[in-house]
A and B are shown apart, each in its own frame.
Chain A
């Protein structure tokens, strides 16, 4: 087996994931009246309103560590542009037509950077509308902009999250990497051949 994630990295990822799910559920409940019933999961409306920003704070810290761990693996490389150019082959499972890629492909890198950007936007706009503690820091017109930016970024990040989760289900063997830390050599050969060659050389 090929080691892909350490135990610490996996725990870090799953804390972030749990926070994102809790944030999506509590946030959506306050976004659309049709989903207000979701506040019951958090102990009612006032409790949901109170706890949502704390989930966000934990997520920011957790993702911040994740970012430091992984950003250097997610720098853009020449083969990533070629990979994006062959997105049709990616979607239709014709991986034989794709360039050899390293530890992460361009899709994974885009998810990483979009998550980073959107979390930053969500946190900053979230603080602006965290009225319980920070009401006096900003003006009401600023809060109106922030509340719209917060909801737009939230919808975008949930969309990115759906793509992230589906890709993990679609590409078989991926989930094992994040659950148990390892992937098979065949999986690595098929999806991240350049990384496999690097591993073989470095051994």
Chain B
């Protein structure tokens, strides 16, 4: 989902070529300050509005989430967790879930279709729908369980970080809509600096484990959270404590590809060399003669 006017690519799925990279483009980031979020879902509405998405109406499933999970037409949702701390105080932890735009994107690594997933120089990871074949490998590659395959058109969908808006100098729709300033957008450097001030503030107010979620296991992300309990990200509706691309996906997509092709090529070559060295195994005239003996004198075994 993108227009192509700003294709400054850093990476392209299933492609060996190096994209042009001499232009300087600062990395961007969206900062989600969980401690400021009031769970109003304006970001969800703005996302639907800007991207022309209309998720299907769902049944109530006993939680405040609506829809209850990400889907091809819901690229961001608020996740609500009721958590009691050690002193028995209830905290309502609200996290805006969606694509984290990893620096080392598992979806892009797993994708078999050239150019179906790209990472722009500014860090945004985007799905290019016309190249998507709907295989679902991105779902297996993602450490955050984000991409969803549509049953309508068999293509993968997720948050684009409003790459179309960012390309023309605007902030993502969710950041634009947030009434409390819990969603900020800008250069990653600036967002990190701003977050550290906010974290100092939270620590002064008793959240001594407050911190920034920018997991180094995936090279950092271009969507970052300020968490009051940064020592336990999984409190926030299962945000991974240590997100990483699964080792099964790593083996499948790195070492195995060249080793497998080389192994098969070697097997085929071994056959050819055998033909050259040992040659065909041919039936000789005496074989036919001895066979007739057996067939005629059945008793002589």
Contacts and interface: CB of A to CB of B under 8 A. Distances in A.
A170 B275 CA distance: 7
Contacts of A193: 294
Nearest to A188: B291
A36 B275 contact: no
Interface string B118-133: 0000000000000111
Given A30-B135, A46-B154, A200 B257 contact: no
B22 interface: no
Contacts of A173: 282-283
Contact of A45 (B133, B246, B251, B282): B133
A186 interface: yes
Given A131-B139, A159-B267, A170 B280 contact: yes
A188 B287 CA distance: 9
Given A33-B15, A33-B114, A91-B274, A172 B133 contact: no
Interface in A150-203: 151-152, 155, 158-159, 162-163, 166, 169-173, 184-190, 193, 196-197, 199-201, 203
Given A158-B264, A159-B264, A162-B264, A144 B283 contact: no
A184 B292 CA distance: 10
Contacts of B114: 33, 36
B134 interface: yes
By DSSP majority rule, is chain A's interface helix, strand, loop, or mixed?
helix
A132 interface: yes
B274 A143 contact: no
A92 interface: yes
Contact of B248 (A148, A188, A197): A148
B84 interface: no
> A interface, how many residues as a size bin?
35 or more
Contacts of A184: 283, 288, 291
Contacts of A36: 14, 112-114
Nearest to B272: A166
B284 interface: yes
A151 B271 contact: no
Contacts of B264: 155, 158-159, 162
A93 B260 contact: no
B281 A140 contact: no
Contacts of B281: 93, 95, 170-172
Contacts of B235: none
A14 interface: no
Interface in B4-60: 14-16
A201 B292 contact: no
B240 interface: no
A166 B263 CA distance: 16
A4 to B, nearest CB: 14
Given A185-B292, A189-B290, A163 B267 contact: yes
A135 B271 contact: no
B97 to A, nearest CB: 15
A198 B206 CA distance: 90
A134 B254 CA distance: 27
B252 interface: yes
B137 A147 contact: yes
Contacts of A169: 275, 280
Given A36-B113, A158-B264, A186-B287, A31 B257 contact: yes
- Closest 3 interchain pairs by CB? A186-B288, A185-B291, A45-B133
Interface of A: 30-34, 36, 39, 44-46, 48-50, 91-93, 95, 129, 131-132, 135, 140-141, 143-145, 147-148, 151-152, 155, 158-159, 162-163, 166, 169-173, 184-190, 193, 196-197, 199-201, 203
14 contacts: A31-B112, A33-B15, A36-B113, A36-B114, A48-B133, A129-B136, A131-B136, A147-B137, A155-B256, A172-B280, A172-B281, A184-B291, A185-B288, A190-B284
